[in-house]
Structure 1
Amino acid sequence: MSHRGPDGVPLYLATEDEDTALLRAILTSGMEAGVFRAMSLPAAVAIVENMLDLAITAVQRRIDADLDTLTREIVDFIFRGLLV
């Protein structure tokens, strides 16, 4: 697995607007509706993206990683941090 885009650029250097548009829209809508707590949008995007990257890293380290448990815990952790 590679953490690089099709052009070879590391994903952490990819343009934020393009790659995070859906996530930013979800977070913005949730904050505006009062479902998610108000916080810095760039910080919220970075936190969610980095938590989700843990699954990729887990598989790279151990091909038999327990992704069911990991993803369940990641989702729970993210929502507990975002919900009002």
Structure 2
Amino acid sequence: MKSQYSILIQWSDEDDCYVVSLPEWGDFCHTHGNTYEEALANAQEVLELLIESARDRNQPFPQPNTYDRLPTPPLTPQAARSRVTSA
């Protein structure tokens, strides 16, 4: 199944594995894998289950984050100061 949802894969020294977040589905939507490939496969499986479950329960799907919709990162203190002094 093709979807446009984000999959964030990061190495965790504490867990000694790759930890995966599916941010559009909530703060506690995670999986993991011992390799990057395993983590990605697990994430895709969880994502398919989340979509299927939402569809079966007639629940709305979260809005996918897309590149043009990503939140603007906060300004660094230096950038914020230069913006104030140049205004």
**TM-score normalised by L of structure 2:** 0.34
Q: Which has the larger helix fraction?
A: 1
Q: Which has the larger strand fraction?
A: 2
RCO higher in 1 or 2 (8 Å CA, sep ≥ 6)?
A: 1
Rg comparison, structure with higher value: 2
